[in-house]
Amino acid sequence: MASPEPGGAPDPAGLSINLATLRRQCDLLQAVEVCLRHGITAIAPWRDQVAAVGLPAAVRAVRTHGLRVTGLCRGGMFPAATPEGRRAALEDNLRALEEAVELSADCLVLVVGGLPEGSRDIAGARAMVRDGIAALLEPARAAGMPLAIEPLHPMYAADRACINTLDQALELCVALDPEGAGTRPALGLAVDAYHVWWDPELQPALRRAAGRILAHHICDWLVPTRDLLLDRGMMGDGVIDLAGLRRAVEAAGFHGPQEVEIFSAETWWKRPADEVVATCLDRWRDHCQP
């Protein structure tokens, strides 16, 4: 089992565990204990994981152990078929914002949502996303909580996120928060290796994204991929040039932790949490250093 080592090895403070990675094994409090056993002091919980233990208990764990919360997953899901549906989505996002503030998260991650039920109008869905983010931005700014738009892989365009490239997300940032680029923009990006690795515009888009990156998620793309949602790979088991991506992300000004987020119903969700976290740390050291 890996453990923090003095000497040449990268400092585990550079690694965050997105708790979706341990979703089937642990609740939030147990996951924190596992991470701490491996010297990892940064996490990114999902809202349902926070709710399951209660927000006060989650906040207490973060404060007691001095954890860094690299993001709260997730806000977003803005499009809906009716004005009432869109209003309800906004209200839910405001609650997410409050939770992110309570947890002192680096950002609230936005998975923006796909097509409303029955719709084939992706341009319309994208307009709803823009309107939703615009409505959330002022409360977020007032709360000092950055919003990180996460472009999702195009295979999720219909049902999870109709923002599918870095450039598309960046265009929203520039339109809605024109002066925002900097060390902690009000509106920025979550760059997830799984979602963006294939993009022919990846390198230039990351250069254009300088000063807008709020989070950097990692895992790997398996060949073959057996499920559209739940077959993400451990770093090193797939085809993504994670070290190269990290170099480009750092060149664009982001030096925060890399956050491992692996949805893996058939492999990693079936392994003991300590083994998963130890493997994350080993693979991150071997495959993800710039």
The residue from 90, 127, 143, 158 that contacts its own copies (CB under 8 A) is 158
Tell me whether residue 18 or residue 165 sits nearer to its own copies (CB atom): 165
Residue whose CB is less far from its own copies, 245 or 280: 245
Minimum Å distance from CB 80 to its own copies? 15
Q: Does 168 bind its own copies (CB under 8 A)?
A: yes
Q: How far is the CB of 194 from its own copies (least distance, A)?
A: 11
Please report whether residue 207 would count as binding its own copies according to CB under 8 A: no
Q: Which is nearer to its own copies, 12 or 76 (CB)?
A: 76
Q: Smallest distance from the beta carbon of 75 to its own copies, in angstroms?
A: 21
State which of positions 176-205 bind its own copies (CB under 8 A). 197-200
Residue type, 124: G
SS (H, E, C) the chain: CCCCCCCCCCCHHHEEEEHHHHCCCCCHHHHHHHHHHCCCCEEECEHHHHHHHCHHHHHHHHHHCCCEECCEEEEECCCCCCHHHHHHHHHHHHHHHHHHHHCCCCCEEEECECCCCCCCCHHHHHHHHHHHHHHHHHHHHHHCCCEEECCCCHHHCCCCECCCCHHHHHHHHHHHCCCCCCCCCCEEEEEEHHHHCCCCCHHHHHHHCCCCEEEEEECECCCCCCCCCCECECCCCCCCCHHHHHHHHHHCCCCCCEEECCCECCCHHHCCHHHHHHHHHHHHHHHCCC
CB of 141 to its own copies, least distance (A): 26
Sequence-ordered list of residues with C-beta below 8 angstroms from that of 242, at least 6 positions apart, any chain: 193, 218, 220, 235, 236, 287, 288
Q: How far is the CB of 167 from its own copies (least distance, A)?
A: 8
Residues 223 to 262 in contact with its own copies, rule: CB under 8 A: 223-225, 228, 238-241
Q: Which string of x and - marks every residue 105-134 that binds its own copies (by CB under 8 A)? A: ----------x---xxxx---x--------
**174 binds its own copies per the rule CB under 8 A:** no
Least separation in angstroms between CB 233 and its own copies:
11
- Member of 159, 266, 275, 286 binding its own copies (CB under 8 A): 159
Measured from the CB atom, the residue of 119 and 289 that comes closer to its own copies is: 119
Interacting residue ranges for its own copies, rule: CB under 8 A: 115, 119-122, 126, 153-155, 157-159, 162-165, 167-168, 197-200, 221, 223-225, 228, 238-241
